[in-house]
Structure 1
Amino acid sequence: MTTAFDELDLQLLHGLQIAPRVPWAQAARILGTSPVTLMSRWDRLRDEGLAWVVAHPSGEGDVLTAFVDVDLEPGRQSEAVATLVRDPRALSIEQSARGRDLMITVMARDLGALSRFVLDDLPRVPGVRRQRTSLALQIHRQGRDWRLQSLDQHQREGFEIARRQSTAPAGPLPRDPQPIIDLLAADGRAGAADIARSAGRNPATVRRHLGRVVGSGLLSFRCEIAQDPTLWGLHCTWLARVPEESKERTVAALATLPELRLCVSTSGETNLLVSVWARSPSDLMRLERLVGERLPWLSLVESVVILRTPKRFGWVVDERGRATGEVIPPVIIGDDPGTA
């Protein structure tokens, strides 16, 4: 089996992980190629569902992030997943091999809004039998921090400069930023000309408003990559218990793992959630053994293999882990009176 990515693909994607909205001309100078080559590469990767740029609510400030484990009635998983995929409040949905049927990530303005979703709305989803919710108390590492390790230091520094330039504050938000936000949800790299055409608005006005939306911190941009089975064959979530006095050094040690996708302190029976992408079952065993040797105070309560991820921050994903092109713009629970 051959990988879907070649060396230049991986360099481009690593660059977009650092600076998701970097202009093609600037990226081409960093990588020593042409803008046309990179545009062509990106169009192919995006059209094949291998990579895409997400723009989702940043969750900064007082926003709550929660992980909802859902148990389903036998034989009704497809029905429940189909319903939840259409719900903009379910940011991401994972189907797991054990312990729970679904793992759902949500954001809420406050505990009341979260409670209404979990206690009132979720039980009405066809097939839902039971749920358990853990709050994210502190997000130490997240998917947008994961890197491909395909660039040298000079190239990484070039993309870091591009990232700072593309997200610099550019003034107060426009009166109604939602049309721009919705279009960015469907294409996180959309430029002013693209948005002006789609919205039927003046390009100069859109360019000014777009800069303000991107620089406001309202949205978080990230380059998502399909889980290529030849590179990252297994997605696994560890639920662990760590003494509070050892939490800081535990997080620092886990952050050195190239496979680390997510590390969050949580409420509940376990207090640390860790997500990794491993190359194979043997590679996962190596990781778990390594963590056990280096962090003997960490108690690994569950190791949960993720079988499918039908939705990643609003983007609908197929059984191969590739984006279908369909996007359900994600919302923070409590922001939309019609869905809170």
Structure 2
Amino acid sequence: MQEMALDELDLRLINALQIQPRVSWAALGRVLGVDPATLGRRWDRISTEGLAWVTGYAVDRLSPGAIVEVEAMPGKLLELAKALLEDPEVATVDITAGSRDLVLSVIAPTSEALYRYVLERLEKPNLVSKVYSHPIAKVLAEASQWRLRALDTMQVEALRALKPESGRMRRFNEFDEAVAEELFRNGRATANEIAASIGANQRRVRESIASQLSAGTIRLRTDVLRSESGWPVNAWYFLSLPAAHADRIARQLSRLDEIRTVLSIVGRYNIAMTVWMRTLEDVSRLEAAIEEQLPEVRIADRSVVMRTTKLVGTLLDENGRRRGYGATYLQRSATP
């Protein structure tokens, strides 16, 4: 049996950073009962090896967006997936098995720019066979809120009770944008590291970080190599259900441990969601649970993700490890 790259303490550390991405090692050491220096060394190894990472995005850039299903020309799937990595409109690229070759999460600065990308630039000559786009009407549950569940209830509550450094509310400017873009690449970058990178005063950087996090204008997320998470199976589900009940049903769906993202979409389905599961057998078990608990829901289709090559701007290798940063419109200023 292959040895796991992440052990129990690693998973607890990652779970803690999902709850408090910028928690200090001293504070986290008190919650976990582990020496802070040990936690720091472990995170250095985990992040350097691309096993887990903290990134972020601007909350006000979550829309307009679309979920786009793509069929590639025969023999061109991997070439197409690679070509899409360079498009800032494409936040996430999933290579899937099933009725579509790719599922893309697409974000653009305006609705016109979104439609222009799907209609004009996504139709790459000699690579794309078919495109089905589904504009996102509402984000009902976000993957950034999904948790590993490696901590006990008391540890989770202790982490939630930690109060990050507060910042005064003010109008944000280009300097704050520069600080944010550094956090988007590395959500645990220190004020000193960011100050050195952008050539700024460390105190001013610290104030900018505190202000933006306090205002909720940026959101940090901790991601983990799926194959080492204990939840190695990833799938997209496409659902049809009565529109009047979409919000209620989405809330019920998001309570299931496996479900990471729930989106209200417009198209041949009206709900798209991503799930992580422990085994392929859980696909049938999850579907049975949904059918039993939510009889109004019809599971129209599903696709297992074979490989993710871009995840909210982070570039992943063939094993799912972080290998770089590709950026998207979620994470930088852009004109239409």
Once the two structures are overlaid, the 10-residue window that deviates more, 149-158 or 206-215, is 206-215
Residues 276-295 of structure 1, C-alpha deviations (whole Å, 9 max, x = no match): 11111112221112212222
How far does residue 189 in structure 1 lie from its aligned partner after superposition? 0.9
Counterpart of 1:286 in structure 2: which amino acid?
Answer: R
Could you say if the C-alpha distance between residues 181 and 248 of structure 1 is closer, same or farther in structure 2, counting changes exceeding 3 Å?
Answer: closer
- Matching residue of 1:214: 213
Local SS of the residue matching 1:134: strand
How far does residue 76 in structure 1 lie from its aligned partner after superposition? 1.7
- Matching residue of 1:178: 177
Rounded Cα–Cα distance in structure 2 between residues aligned with 1:24 and 1:306 = 34
Counterpart of 2:87 in structure 1: which amino acid?
Answer: D
- Matching residue of 1:327: 325
Aligned length: 335
**1:58-97 mapped onto 2 (5 Å cutoff):** 58-59=59-60, 63-97=63-97
Q: Unaligned regions of 5+ residues in structure 2, if any?
A: none
- Matching residue of 1:298: 297
Rounded Cα–Cα distance in structure 1 between residues aligned with 2:148 and 2:211 = 30
- Matching residue of 2:276: 277
Could you say if the C-alpha distance between residues 168 and 269 of structure 1 is closer, same or farther in structure 2, counting changes exceeding 3 Å?
Answer: farther
Counterpart of 1:287 in structure 2: which amino acid?
Answer: L
- Matching residue of 2:99: 99
Rounded Cα–Cα distance in structure 2 between residues aligned with 1:132 and 1:333 = 25
- Matching residue of 1:147: 147
- Matching residue of 2:33: 32
Once the two structures are overlaid, the 10-residue window that deviates more, 120-129 or 264-273, is 120-129
Local SS of the residue matching 2:292: helix
- Matching residue of 1:227: 226
Could you say if the C-alpha distance between residues 200 and 229 of structure 1 is closer, same or farther in structure 2, counting changes exceeding 3 Å?
Answer: closer
Local SS of the residue matching 1:236: strand
- Matching residue of 2:265: 266
Rounded Cα–Cα distance in structure 2 between residues aligned with 1:272 and 1:252 = 12
Counterpart of 1:128 in structure 2: which amino acid?
Answer: V
- Structure 1 residue runs of 4 or more that deviate by more than 4 Å after TM superposition: 166-170, 332-335
Local SS of the residue matching 2:71: strand
Q: How big is the alpha-carbon RMSD for the aligned residues of Structure 1 and Structure 2?
A: 2.2
Q: TM-score under structure 2 normalisation? A: 0.92
CA contact 2:56–2:183 (8 Å) conserved in 1: yes
Local SS of the residue matching 1:133: strand
How much identity, in percent, do the aligned residues show?
31
Counterpart of 1:105 in structure 2: which amino acid?
Answer: S
CA contact 1:173–1:216 (8 Å) conserved in 2: no
CA contact 2:61–2:329 (8 Å) conserved in 1: no
Residues 167-213 of structure 1, C-alpha deviations (whole Å, 9 max, x = no match): 76553324433322332222111110111122232222222233233
Once the two structures are overlaid, the 10-residue window that deviates more, 107-116 or 314-323, is 107-116
Q: Unaligned regions of 5+ residues in structure 1, if any?
A: none
Rounded Cα–Cα distance in structure 1 between residues aligned with 2:53 and 2:152 = 23
Could you say if the C-alpha distance between residues 137 and 170 of structure 1 is closer, same or farther in structure 2, counting changes exceeding 3 Å?
Answer: same
Residues 278-332 of structure 1, C-alpha deviations (whole Å, 9 max, x = no match): 11111222111221222222111101111110000111011111111x1012214
How far does residue 41 in structure 1 lie from its aligned partner after superposition? 1.1
Counterpart of 2:206 in structure 1: which amino acid?
Answer: R
Local SS of the residue matching 1:309: strand
CA contact 2:61–2:109 (8 Å) conserved in 1: no
Could you say if the C-alpha distance between residues 104 and 168 of structure 1 is closer, same or farther in structure 2, counting changes exceeding 3 Å?
Answer: farther
- Matching residue of 1:120: 120
CA contact 1:193–1:203 (8 Å) conserved in 2: yes
Rounded Cα–Cα distance in structure 1 between residues aligned with 2:70 and 2:219 = 26
How far does residue 335 in structure 1 lie from its aligned partner after superposition? 4.7
Rounded Cα–Cα distance in structure 1 between residues aligned with 2:164 and 2:306 = 38
Residues 86-145 of structure 1, C-alpha deviations (whole Å, 9 max, x = no match): 222211111111222211112233321111111122124661233221122221211111
Q: TM-score under structure 1 normalisation? A: 0.91
CA contact 2:65–2:114 (8 Å) conserved in 1: no
Could you say if the C-alpha distance between residues 194 and 116 of structure 1 is closer, same or farther in structure 2, counting changes exceeding 3 Å?
Answer: same
Once the two structures are overlaid, the 10-residue window that deviates more, 79-88 or 244-253, is 244-253
